[in-house]
Amino acid sequence: MSAEDLENYETDMELQLYREYRDVVGLFSYVVETERRFYLANHVDLQARSADGEVYFDLTLQDAWVWDVYRSARFVKNVRVITFKDVNVEELPRNEELALPKDGGLGDLGDLGN
């Protein structure tokens, strides 16, 4: 396998992973980013802990999806991460919050062209 073949393979795998992410993101409530991984999850418990004067984070996720191109099974029931690095947790907007009105109308904006 040439270097170009390997690069094309990795690019295809990343594109497939992005498409999977796009398809499943609406199923989850939170985006979680650690130094090593990116997760989607429906339940997040983040606890700051201390041991020997060092602060670390104990992160538990339930009903999660893992962004990892090399994993064959990206859906996981439970994930536990212990890290001394930053953890970012963001709540995803619900689809209803971003949807157009059910009648498809834009209110007064719809009359701009008349």
Q: Give the predicted TM-score (pTM) of the model.
A: 0.75
* pLDDT over 60 (residue 108): no
Tens digit of pLDDT for each residue in 42-99?
Answer: 999 999 999 999 999 999 999 999 999 888 899 999 999 999 999 999 999 976 655 5
Amino acid 77: pLDDT: 97
Could you give the residue ranges of the DSSP H alpha helices within 1-114? 3-24, 95-98
> Which residues, 6 or more positions from 77, have their beta carbon under 8 angstroms from its beta carbon?
62, 63, 64
What confidence tier does 111 reach under pLDDT thresholds 50, 70, 90? low
86 to 4, 23, 89: CA distances (angstroms): 35, 27, 10
